[in-house]
Copies of this chain bind each other. A is one copy, B any other.
């Protein structure tokens, strides 16, 4: 079985490309990087745990995509340009085939998101645990924070919601079938962090968050941090035809509202910037849907056909058994 140093040398060192201000990559006590001038750095760390965030039999290539996609999504939500990644990987054994699949996915995802692997730690343990720490740059004063939503702002979401939840259902119940099963599976396994959208929204959005726990939970965080309330219309949540071909309308609506892990962006902006949003949508070829409005108060009100909507299921995924 290869040793820790051989794993780093043979799998991760070739992936750790010298790029984007990387002065010294994998192989010393630390990596050395040169931060861009006039920019703040955005930093986030995310962990995926076997049996909690992914099934034990997940393909290692998909796992690498999912780990990077979900991490880079936090940079997108800040309007940051991805720069550097460090990776901590705990594995029960040094399975060369698994590592080879994992690094193949990692390499492709690094390329896709234009982020450089600069360091890592490989350890043994009876459970697969992967932590990705990502950093990106954003011009001073232009970061998209959660706390800037203003009363009267429109609330937007990108793409379509609930697809990832349907993809998880397909994974857990292989007997399920859907006309566009592949699309839904990919939405779960290989999320698309909205990097370009985040960057385009600098100076336009007043607040932003990525949808990891579910729209209602995440929009709730944003409103709470901004000290405001919000109303959204359930029927206005963007849903894909793939989702509707997979389940009934009520289920599709629930998953769009609470499903989680879509890694779309939810953001607010003044109504006066509506035409800017339309231009960004056209430029990126990405659906951007107004789903509600920010108001005075502290509650998130969800309406369906003019009535208050009570969600019969979870309001978002939480660890340590705190699901509601």
Chain B contacts of A118 at CB under 8 A? 43
Given A4-B322, A47-B121, is A32 in contact with B42 using a C-beta cutoff of 8 Å?
yes
Write the nearest CB–CB distance from A258 to chain B, whole angstroms.
Answer: 16
Contacting pair B88 A88 (CB below 8 A): yes
Instruction: Give the CA-CA distance A127 to B1 in the complex, in Å.
Output: 23
Q: What CA separation (Å) do A55 and B146 show in the bound complex? A: 40
User: What separation, in Å, do the CA atoms of A321 and B52 have in the docked complex?
Assistant: 27
CA separation between A320 and B40, bound complex, in Å?
39
| Contacting pair A124 B27 (CB below 8 A) | no
Residue among B37, B127, B147 making CB contact with A126, cutoff 8 Å: B127
Please pick, from B5, B30, B318, B320, the residue contacting A43 in the complex, using a CB distance under 8 A. B30
Name 16 interchain pairs, CB-CB below 8 A, sorted by A: A2-B322, A3-B319, A4-B319, A28-B145, A28-B146, A28-B225, A29-B44, A29-B74, A29-B77, A30-B43, A32-B42, A35-B35, A37-B37, A44-B86, A45-B88, A86-B133
Q: Which residues of A contact B (CB under 8 A)?
A: 1-7, 23-24, 27-35, 37, 40-53, 74-75, 77-78, 80, 84, 86-88, 90, 93-94, 118-127, 129, 131, 133, 136, 138, 140, 143, 145-147, 208-210, 225, 318-322
